[in-house]
A and B are shown apart, each in its own frame.
Chain A
Amino acid sequence: MDKDKAAILQGTLDLLVLKTVETMGPLHGWAIAKRIEQIAEDLLEMKYGTLYPALMRLEQSGWISSEWGTSDNNRRARFYSITRQGRKQLALEAKGWAQMSAFITRMLGSTR
């Protein structure tokens, strides 16, 4: 793994996926992965494989729903979209993340 790229922090993948399907509407797994990678540019290293269990977990929690659809190039693919509960969860997690990162920034910024 590239040393400059951060591995995805434990637990943050859920947040990334929720945010992606919230802003982009129904997407299939590959598109979600692409989108995350696109935004991350070189900041993030991600094994795509971990995405699929995460999708299933989110669906089991009721935060996203899925159905079969057809991709742009006419292939059968599973499309995921966010649910009402998912939006609530996203707001909650985003808030938690903001707090956490603010804290860490402050911590690292403090001199003594």
Chain B
Amino acid sequence: MATLRSLTARFSALFRRRELHDRVGEELQFHIRMQTEENIRRGLAPPDAQAAAHRKLGNTTQVREEVHRMNTIEFLDETARNFRLSFRTLCKNPGFALTAVLVLALGLGASTAMFSALDRILFRPLPYPDGDRLVQIGMTVPDFGPSANGGRGDVVFTDHAYLARWIPPPEPFVSVTIVSRTPDCDITEEQRPERVKCAYVSDNFLETFRVHVALGRDFMPEDDVRGAPPVAIISHGLWLRRFGGDPDAVGRTLNIGGVPVPVIGVMPPHFETPRGDSADIWRPSQIFPIPPEFATMSTFITIFGRLKPGVTPQQAEVAVAPLILEDARLLRRGPLDDYRPRVRSLRDYQVGDASRAAWLLLGAVAGLLLIACVNVTNLILARLAAREREFAVRAALGACRWRLARLALMESLLLSAAAGALGLAIAAGLLRLFVSLAPSSIFKLNEASLDLRVFAVAAILSAIAGAAIGIWPAISVLRTATLQHGARVTVARPRLRFALVTRSDRADRRDAGQFGAVAALAMEPGQRAAGFSKRPRCHDERDVDGRALYAKSRTARIPRSTARPHPSLTGYRRCHVE
């Protein structure tokens, strides 16, 4: 309780540090005045009295420092200091900073753009409640070839087979529904006739997908009977377009293909068909019961089902395979060896083989990001080697190794944050390019955009990149930032650095086409900016060790006439501590 209280007090004190500082100052002043007056009363001369009061009070700077420490959260304070310092350091080395940021930004931008483009295929949940339990049921029929049904190779049931086998839904399905066809149709109103997309579905379609109409009512079983009066549920878009979002639209009629059809409901906004496209008008399929004269005819329908919880599509496939094959027998009299029953998740149905390609692409950009990180790590290590004197001086002035390591890490994080921001801009550009190319085989690519989800991923990526490029330099600082080792101990062994560079070089070549080119681009200026082969700007033949530095800070007290620089310091004088 007391600790919590103390912590909150400390936190609130953070924001009124100035006030508390002034308060202590005033109290100390008051104390000295009181003490001085008392000393005078005791018979001391005023100057002596005041000096005695000061003596008795002790070191007021120490008091102020203690109060300051008490009213601060050291970690936050230090982080803010490191941030400012890193910012200044990077600003002083624009060449290095720009190169590192650019290289990282390319990697981050490409990754972000690729993630955004492939998000719908791989990660984003389907826009239906418990969408992972939705499956498409069918079989691959070699007769129709892999391009059957728009490249999906899916199936194909006869109507009467559906009726016989799938109502009521077999184990392990909660419900099974069909989409019979999605033709173009015409709204034939006198004013503003338009061509739209109609979808014919069974009455339990919305129920199976667990979607509720935004307005009006869902289909009833009696709507989905051959010969029943026509009804329609219209899409949210069409409702806005034709009825201006009027709630009274339900009950009005819409002339579709010359037939007046009452509108019974409005879909929620952005509702998608199971294929991922959109339809404007939803109508009951009304194919059952099938009149005897149609009994031997078949129509293409697509079956979707909702699995019971905990059942995988594979298990369901095993369970309903006999049923599917029985249906297939109605299609073909010969052997069914090459008919393969298939139950696959709705996501698989929608994206098909694209997911494998998507993983491949994602892997490629991840490789690119990795290469960028390795290169920037190299840059930082190279620069640390050049800055080892600075770190030695900081260590000599009392910075502990962990502080120095945190400082090095902060620089990396700052670089990656800047790169993340620039990467977003690059991602936006790349994404525009992707969308304009938009191969139709990549599902929903034309809808990819930078939304909050993508921002979050970009932020996480840049944080990870920051940690990745920062951790090694920080460790090397931790290992070597002690003055005893002298300036000759390198922050990171050069051989290791070159080994790294060559390794990433090879990785570039191994990488396919364009990515290799980009990576190589990232490599080139990187090496030059860091000046791998150049010697550090400030160099001295002698070691500058701790004692020499300390001696330098002491020479200030030696009278000018006798002061002569120690020979070991002449080299150091030429150095700048950046």
**B22 shortest CB reach to chain A, Å:** 11
Beta-carbon contact of A76 and B30 below 8 Å:
yes
Contact A48–B57 (Cβ < 8 Å):
yes
The reply on A102 being an interface residue by CB < 8 A is no
The yes or no answer to B212 lying at the interface (CB within 8 A) is: no
Contacts A49-B62, A50-B63, A53-B63: A60 and B10 contacting too (C-beta < 8 A)? yes
Q: Which of B1-9, B122-130, B258-266, B298-306 contacts A (4 or more CB under 8 A)?
A: B1-9
Say yes or no: B70 contacts A33, CB within 8 Å: no
Cβ of A60 and Cβ of B13 under 8 Å apart? Answer: yes
Given the interface contacts A49-B63, A56-B70, does A78 sit within 8 Å of B34 by beta carbon?
no
The 8 A CB mask of B318-356 against A (1 = contact, 0 = none) is 000000000000000000000000000000000000000
Q: A60-B10, A60-B13 are in contact. Are A48 and B31 (CB under 8 A)?
A: yes
Q: Which A72-98 residues have a C-beta within 8 angstroms of B?
A: 73, 75-78
Tally chain B residues at the interface, Cβ within 8 Å. 29
Whether, in the assembled complex, B151 has its beta carbon less than 8 Å from a beta carbon of chain A, the answer is: no
Q: Name B55's closest neighbour in chain A (CB-CB).
A: A47
A47 to B62, CA, bound (A): 12
Residues of A within 8 A of B60 (CB): 49
* Assembly CA distance A71 to B35 (angstroms): 14
A12 CB-CB contact with B under 8 Å: no
Check A29 against B70 for contact (C-beta < 8 Å): no
Q: Mark B44-67, 1 if CB is under 8 A from A, else 0.
A: 000000000000111110110011
Select one of B9, B23, B59 contacting A60, CB under 8 A. Answer: B9
> Is B24 part of the contact surface with A, judged by Cβ < 8 Å?
yes
- Does A25 touch B at the CB level, under 8 Å? no
Q: Which of A47, A57, A73, A77 contacts B70 (CB 8 A)?
A: A57
0/1 string, B4-22, CB within 8 A of A gives 1 = 0110011001000000100
Q: Does A30 contact B (CB under 8 A)?
A: yes
The binding surface of chain B is classed by DSSP as: helix
Q: Is A52 an interface residue (CB 8 A)?
A: yes
Which of the residues A29, A59, A76 comes within 8 Å of B31, measured between beta carbons? A29
Q: Given the complex, which residues of B lie within 8 Å of A61, measured CB to CB?
A: 2, 5-6, 9
Known: A29-B30, A75-B33. A53 touches B5 (CB 8 A): no
- Interface residue ranges of A1-46 to B (CB < 8 Å): 28-30, 33
Closest Cβ neighbor of A47 among chain B residues: B58
B77 within 8 A of partner (CB): no
B69: nearest chain-A partner, CB-CB = A53
Chain B residues closer than 8 Å to A50, beta-carbon distance: 58, 63
Which chain A residues border B6 with CB–CB below 8 Å?
60-61
Contact of B56 among A28, A48, A53 (CB under 8 A): A48
Cβ contact within 8 Å between B34 and A52: no
- Tell which of B6, B34, B57 has the most Cβ of chain A within 10 Å: B34
A74 to chain B, nearest CB (A): 12
Top 8 A-B pairs ranked by shortest CB distance?
A49-B58, A47-B58, A60-B9, A53-B66, A30-B34, A49-B63, A48-B57, A30-B31
27 intermolecular pairs with C-beta atoms under 8 Å apart: A29-B31, A30-B30, A33-B31, A48-B58, A49-B59, A49-B62, A49-B63, A52-B24, A52-B27, A52-B31, A52-B67, A53-B63, A53-B70, A56-B20, A56-B24, A57-B70, A59-B9, A60-B6, A60-B9, A60-B70, A61-B5, A61-B6, A62-B2, A62-B5, A71-B34, A73-B37, A76-B26
Which B residues are within 8 Å of any A CB, using their own CB?
Answer: 2, 5-6, 9-10, 13, 20, 23-24, 26-28, 30-31, 33-35, 37, 56-60, 62-63, 66-67, 70-71
Known: A48-B58, A49-B63, A60-B9. 20 other contacts (CB 8 A): A28-B30, A30-B31, A30-B35, A48-B56, A49-B60, A49-B62, A50-B58, A52-B28, A53-B70, A56-B67, A56-B71, A57-B70, A60-B5, A60-B13, A61-B6, A71-B30, A71-B34, A76-B26, A76-B30, A78-B26
